[in-house]
Amino acid sequence: MSVRAYRQIIRRKSRQIMVGNVPVGGDAPISVQTMTNTVTSDVEGTIAQIRAAEAAGVDIVRVSCPDEESTAALKAIVKAARVPVVADIHFHYKRAIEAAEAGAACLRINPGNIGSAARVREVVKAAKDHGCSMRIGVNAGSLERELLERYGEPCPEAMVESALNHAKILEDNDFREFKISVKASDVFLAVAAYQGLAEACDYPLHLGVTEAGGLITGTVKSSIGIGSLLWAGIGDTIRVSLSAEPVEEVKVGFEILKGLGLRHRGVSIVSCPSCARQAFQVIKTVEVLEKRLAHISTPITLSIIGCVVNGPGEARETMIGVTGGGNGTHMVYVNGVTDHKIDDGRMIDHVVGLVEQRAAEIEAAKAAAAAAE
């Protein structure tokens, strides 16, 4: 079997919506989202968090709007943001209307939770008038009482039914510009719910394992849940929920996508865990390189291997590679071929320079190709 064959992921066919200028669903790239954790009325602090997420490559940012002060601040936040802003709304339909008027690209709202049919119509009208899409966000921890009484506990069937009930409300109001999520903190429950929803509708799906935990725990749980769904072709946009700064969610999101070959951004480092054979301090070297190369957004592969056992083989598969050698001198590979040697003291600066040079060359070639079209 060829490498291409076993890496192939066949995505579920879904309709496409727009979140601002970002397409979600269909054949669009899987987008990465995060959510600010500032008090939204703190405009300066919220914009600062969005700026950090933008620098990490985020595609869409969500902002909570629990009160009038938040929706009043949203206009300035939306204006300052370089990416679409989603307004997170719970229960109060007026906040949704205010957010749409303030320029939100999308409303995260469950139409069945905001009251009468007349209120739903008002929110749908505001969304249509201002070009907003919506996200129906079902959560295992806040299912409707009727469903919990009927099913006995949160389960995939109850979550899918909840999502489809909310979807029907929007469809009955001739509104179909929405995506759906069915999140749970339990990985098995979340995955099963998404699998059921993927079979039941063709709306784009927003993936996430909610309340996943801290940086390490949450990263592992999210990678298992989101990764297994994406591998099965399910999912159109993702948010990694961490008890950590939003920029960390973005980083992990891109690492999940890079690991599955679904999107490529920045430097992908292949490195060994190190052992007694290492000819240089691999762990420290990789730690420093990750920080010093964080500004590179161009997709580049780099291998950092401590000895010659696997080093040459890994270097053949990366654009730039370093394999540990004897006497403090190490082999540098370019495009998989041995190119030159470098000593310990200059290695990190040298690798950073090689990566930056390669990134500049790739970007210049892209610009030239675009100009020639």
- What's the length of the chain? 373
| Burial class (CB within 10 angstroms; exposed 0-12, middle 13-18, buried 19+) of 160 | buried
Q: Which amino acid is at 187?
A: V
**Which tokens go with 22?**
């970002």
3-state class of 125 per DSSP?
Answer: helix
Q: Give me the amino acid identity at 293.
A: L
Q: Return d(Cα 332, Cα 303) in angstroms, integer.
A: 10
Residue with structure tokens 């500032």? 38
CA distance 60 to 253: 12
For residue 261, the Cα-to-chain-centroid distance in whole angstroms is 14
Residue 272 in marked binding region: yes
Known binding residue 314? Answer is yes
- How far is residue 118's CA from residue 124's CA, in Å, rounded to a whole number? 10
Beta-carbon contacts of 153 under 8 Å, excluding residues fewer than 6 positions away, are none
State the residue for tokens 């310990």: 344
Question: β-pairing, 22-25 with 16-19?
Answer: antiparallel
Instruction: Extract the annotated binding site for [4Fe-4S] cluster.
Output: 272, 275, 307, 314
Instruction: Extract the annotated binding site.
Output: 272, 275, 307, 314
